[in-house]
Homo-oligomer: A and B are copies of this chain.
């Protein structure tokens, strides 16, 4: 990616039906403490847009750290989202690989020019994210993560 550097992969995310159950399994297998899942904020806070529209879609998230990389568990709840769509059409499994990018709009423009559109965007405390539907070409969704701090 034009502004996507060497060690920018930071996350592999797995969509699951029951995050408490999955988190317990990961904790057991990797000898880590069971993380407390947290719910993403409401639309008023995250400005979530799915296929260009606001959505009630939210998710419960839990993270396991492996050095610089984290495995993110995602249980979709509450409404339409790329997470729910994955669960409905492909079932449980890896949903995306996330990359840190220094300039969200520049990276989105680069992907758009390759025919890879953003399907969901939103904000979180300290930054913003975009999921880009690269499944046709790359067989996996890309997530771009940008920090508010420049």
Contact = CB atoms under 8 A, between A and B. Distances in A.
Interface of A is mostly: mixed
Contacts of A97: 12, 71, 94
A71 B1 CA distance: 14
Contacts of A15: 139
Interface in A3-20: 4, 6-9, 12, 14-16
A29 B134 contact: yes
**Centre residue among A65, A69, A139 by max chain B CB count within 10 A:** A139
A30 B4 contact: yes
Interface residues of A, number: 41
B68 A67 contact: yes
A33 interface: no
A29 B71 contact: no
B4 A140 contact: no
Contacts of A65: 6
A137 interface: yes
Contact of A138 (B1, B7, B29): B29
